């Protein structure tokens, strides 16, 4: 049974100055990314959050879909307007904020698979999809889509049962979506501020990376790179040491962790 969010509980816990202060709450959307794009084009203030109880066309990275049943999880998109030099920090800040929120609100230990999948016990609990609209080199807006598996029965979703988890699967009982949401918005604003002022957010993200030191295969369209994930650079790109000893920088893509 779907239980709708209690937004009063969220508001009571919210400590932000602007993130989530303008919140659009929908029972159903194709994708919160689509609704947020329209809001952004209408000059919605930075930090506007679009949240849906259900998505009929939830999207993941790399053209995948995102399982989005009603009243169980969190599906939200933040409208951000970073200066171009800070655009890439969003893909560090978003997974970090989700990991910190899940720890604070549900007591889970979260790791990050480069660049921005949040894992618990090796299974994915949350993901990030960032879509941007540019005017030349300037950023008109960035849509930071975050999906957090809170109370759906991940083990019963046949296509993702082996690779996905949720707060409910980890704890054996339901978690509070309101607490996770408030903690997420709070952590997002705090870490976004950190990321513009120094390297605290970068270091916190890096220290959670499950990927470092592991053998990986990175796929970027047609290109495949295999080797050991040695480190990340200051922009968040992955540095892979190939078997021939050379080092390659991977800015974006999909990474599989090898045995
Ligand atoms: C991924 O890990 O592949 C990214 C998943 C992103 C899912 C969220 S849910 C809210 C927002 N709306 C979408 O359609 N996708 C993102």
Instruction: Look up the pTM and report it.
Output: 0.96
> 237: Cβ below 6 Å to ligand 1?
no
Instruction: Give the residue-averaged pLDDT of 43-52.
Output: 98
Instruction: Give the pLDDT score at 142.
Output: 98
Instruction: Give the residue-averaged pLDDT of 5-11.
Output: 97
| Residue recorded with tokens 């921005």 | 116
> 128: Cβ below 6 Å to ligand 1?
yes
Share of the chain above pLDDT 70, in %: 100
Where do the domains of the chain lie, and which CATH numbers do they carry? 7-207 (3.30.930.10), 215-257 (2.30.30.100)
C-alpha 63/C-alpha 213 separation (Å) is: 28
Locate 30 and state its tokens: 């194709």
> 64: Cβ below 6 Å to ligand 1?
yes
In the predicted structure, residue 48 carries a pLDDT above the cut 90 = yes
Instruction: Give the residue-averaged pLDDT of 133-155.
Output: 95
Instruction: Give the pLDDT score at 1.
Output: 67
91-129 b/e (C-beta count within 10 Å ≥ 16 → b): bbbbbbbbbbbbebbbebebbbbbbbbbbbeebbbbbbb
Residue 148 CA to ligand 1 center (angstroms) comes to 9
In the predicted structure, residue 83 carries a pLDDT above the cut 80 = yes
C-alpha 158/C-alpha 134 separation (Å) is: 38
C-alpha 231/C-alpha 220 separation (Å) is: 18
In the predicted structure, residue 169 carries a pLDDT above the cut 70 = yes
pLDDT in tens, 210-232: 999 999 999 988 889 999 999 99
Instruction: Give the pLDDT score at 194.
Output: 95
């Amino acid at each position: 049974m779907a239980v709708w969010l209690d937004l009063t509980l969220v508001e009571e816990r919210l400590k932000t100055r602007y993130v989530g202060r303008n919140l659009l709450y929908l029972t159903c959307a194709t994708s919160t990314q689509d609704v947020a794009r329209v809001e952004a084009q209408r000059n919605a203030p930075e930090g506007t959050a679009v949240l849906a109880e259900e998505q009929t066309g939830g999207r993941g990275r790399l053209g995948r879909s995102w399982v989005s049943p009603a009243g169980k999880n969190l599906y939200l998109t933040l409208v951000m307007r970073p200066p171009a030099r800070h655009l890439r920090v969003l893909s560090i800040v978003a997974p970090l904020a989700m990991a910190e929120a899940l720890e604070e609100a549900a007591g889970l230990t979260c790791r990050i698979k480069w660049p921005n999948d949040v894992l618990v016990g090796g299974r994915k609990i949350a993901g990030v999809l960032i879509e941007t609209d540019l005017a030349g080199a300037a950023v008109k807006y960035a849509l930071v889509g975050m999906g957090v598996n809170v109370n759906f029965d991940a083990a019963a979703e046949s296509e993702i049962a082996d690779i996905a988890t949720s707060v409910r699967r980890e704890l054996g009982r339901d978690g509070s979506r309101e607490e996770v949401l408030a903690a997420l918005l709070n952590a997002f604003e705090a870490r976004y501020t950190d990321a513009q002022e120094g390297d605290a957010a970068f270091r916190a993200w890096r220290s959670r990376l499950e990927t470092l030191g592991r053998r990986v295969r990175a796929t970027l369209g047609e290109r495949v790179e295999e080797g050991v994930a040695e480190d990340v650079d200051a922009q968040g790109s992955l540095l892979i040491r190939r078997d021939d000893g050379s080092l390659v920088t991977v800015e974006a893509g999909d990474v599989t962790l090898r045995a």
